Amino acid sequence: MSFFKTLEVTETTDKKSADWSNAEHVRCLIIGSGPAGYTAAIYAARANLKPVLYQGMEAGGQLTTTTEVENFPGYPHGVTGPVLMEDIKAQAERFGTDVRWGEVTEADLTQRPFKLLADGAPILADSLIIATGATAKYLGIESENKFKGAGVSACATCDGFFYRDKVVAVVGGGDTAAEEATYLAGLASKVYLIVRKPYLRASKAMQERVIRTSNVEVLYEHVTKEITGTNVVTGVTLTKRQGETDEQDVKLAIDGFFVAIGHKPNSDIFAKYLNMDEIGYIKTVPGTAKTNVPGVFAAGDVQDSTYRQAITAAGSGCMAALDAERFLAE
């Protein structure tokens, strides 16, 4: 879910009506509650910056929709995403981070202190750490929209429960798709993994896991044409590509359709002020968390289109806090 979904509604009215003279003024404002945001908070709090952290609508970030995390250092036997996030949050709070539920819907970064609206309330920040993460992408076909919440989902760990002993399809060829497919295979009777290329992009370990799972069938070179059903999903029509020209429709009976084709960074409200790539990933000065606006730092998936791991997000959150501390000291 996006942090900024209410932007269009609030932009003109809230900004004008906000009472900036009586606004709360903080030294370090952190937006986002994934590994990047909480790690930034641990460092900022220990440096006595008295950070205020807004969690956004998806408290804990994407990891709360993951099952087992096996590659985060310090957990030799693995840890579930939600437990990992609770642990990092507790560590941030232990040093005095003011963690708040709510979302930041507007930002004005033209001068310091920066002006932001958090849950409709004005807040001034001497430094800002953006760790808003990324949101799941959808295919963009009409039928997908029609069945969202009625058989179409972008989160297997949230909705997989409803498909016990049923047949589901997962679309995508990366690690997320592989992970969702194997997770769903533990619940559903059959999982189709729909991959548009003749190969999976997922890591070797995840590919092997998919292949070892007997009730996952990988359909290579298949593209989703239409999701079908009346009130709920009952099927999907795929186009099978063979060579340059040969195309053939394939119909599958399914009960659930899971989209796992990547993410879009949650950076929309900063687009006017910060340098970004064409997808919306915030650009940082290499080797730092600095953006093009002094005093504004970016960490985690909102600025990382390459690694996108919990541990790299946490690392960049640490960098952002250290950069903010140095900036404020100057």
Catalytic site positions: 155, 158-159
If the CB atoms of residues 61 and 295 are measured against ligand NDP, the closer one turns out to be 61
Q: With binding defined as CB under 6 A, does residue 179 bind ligand NDP?
A: yes
Which residues, other chains included, contact 204 with Cβ-Cβ below 8 Å and sequence gap of 6+? none
Amino acid at the residue 149: G
- Residue 201 interacts with ligand NDP (CB under 6 A): yes or no: yes
Closer by beta carbon to ligand NDP, 18 or else 194: 194
CA separation (Å) from 28 to 60, 134, 259, 273?
19, 22, 36, 18
Which stretch, 11-19, 78-86, 256-264, 319-327, contacts ligand NDP (CB under 6 A)? Answer: 256-264
Among 159, 175, 255, 325, binds ligand NDP (CB under 6 A): 175
Question: What is the per-residue burial (b if ≥16 Cβ within 10 Å, else e) of 236-245?
Answer: bebeebeeee
- 197 binding ligand NDP? (CB under 6 A): yes
CB 105 within 8 A of CB 10: yes
Backbone φ and ψ for 81, nearest 5 degrees, come out as: -55, -50
In the complex with ligand NDP, the residue whose CB is nearer, 224 or 291, is 224
Q: Applying CB under 6 A, does 144 fall inside the site for ligand NDP? A: no
Distance set, CA 46 to CA 42, 71, 214, 296 (Å): 6, 26, 49, 19
Based on the shown chain and the rule CB under 6 A, indicate whether residue 308 belongs to the binding site for ligand NDP: yes
Q: 78 — alpha (psi -120 to 50), left (phi > 0) or beta?
A: left
* Size of interface with ligand NDP, in residues (CB under 6 A): 17
Q: Which of residues 56-75 bind ligand NDP (CB under 6 A)?
A: 71
Determine the Cα–Cα distance for residues 117 and 121; give it in Å rounded to an integer: 5
Name the H helices within 53-164: 81-94, 142-146, 156-159
Of 173, 300, 315, 317, the one binding ligand NDP (CB under 6 A) is 173
Interacting stretch for ligand NDP, rule CB under 6 A, among 25-33, 89-97, 156-164, 165-173?
A: 165-173
Choose between 119 and 208: whose C-beta lies nearer to ligand NDP: 208
Amino acid at position 274, single letter: L
Binding to ligand NDP by CB under 6 A, coded x per residue (else -) over 16-55, reads ----------------------------------------
Residues that bind ligand NDP (CB under 6 A): 71, 139, 171-177, 179, 196-197, 201, 261-263, 308
